[in-house]
Structure formats: C-alpha cells, structure tokens
C-alpha cells in the first residue's frame, strides 16, 4: 500500500509541475545519463508519443524517478 501511495504522490507532483503530463494517458519518465555525461537529463514520454527533455537540475526532486 505504501508503494502505491508513493507512486500516486509522484504522479500528482508531476501533474502539478507539468499539467498536461497525463492528458493523453500514461507518462513515462526516464533518466538519460552515463558516466561521461556532465549534465544528466530527464526524458518525459507523454501518452501521445511526444518527448520532453529537461536538464536534471530543472526537474523538481519529487518528480524524479
């Protein structure tokens, strides 16, 4: 049950930060990083296939995977 509430909290935080995140259904969140990257990024894939990429430091902590 705690895991479900944690997932719900992340979803609500994402929707607050990006209001249209769930407009087309599920939204996938992925970290784009490797040992050689100076500035990791986070990719959001919306339900309609649109991708949005942000530097990690621009994404609120509660939204990060």
Residues 23-46 have pLDDT tens digits of 999 999 999 988 887 889 999 999
List Cβ neighbours of 14 (8 Å cut-off, separation of 6 or more).
21, 22, 27, 29, 63
Tell me how far apart the alpha carbons of residues 8 and 64 are, in angstroms, rounded to a whole number.
Answer: 13
Whole-number pLDDT of residue 65: 83
Entry pTM = 0.83
Domain count, the chain: 1
Residue 47, domain extent: 2-63
The band of 13, judged by pLDDT with boundaries at 50, 70 and 90, is very high
């Amino acid at each position: 049950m705690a895991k479900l509430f944690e997932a719900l909290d992340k979803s609500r935080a994402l929707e607050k930060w990006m209001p249209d995140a769930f407009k087309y259904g599920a939204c996938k969140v992925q970290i784009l990083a490797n040992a050689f990257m100076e500035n990791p990024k986070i990719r959001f894939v919306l339900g309609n296939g649109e991708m949005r990429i942000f530097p990690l430091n621009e994404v609120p902590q509660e939204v990060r995977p």
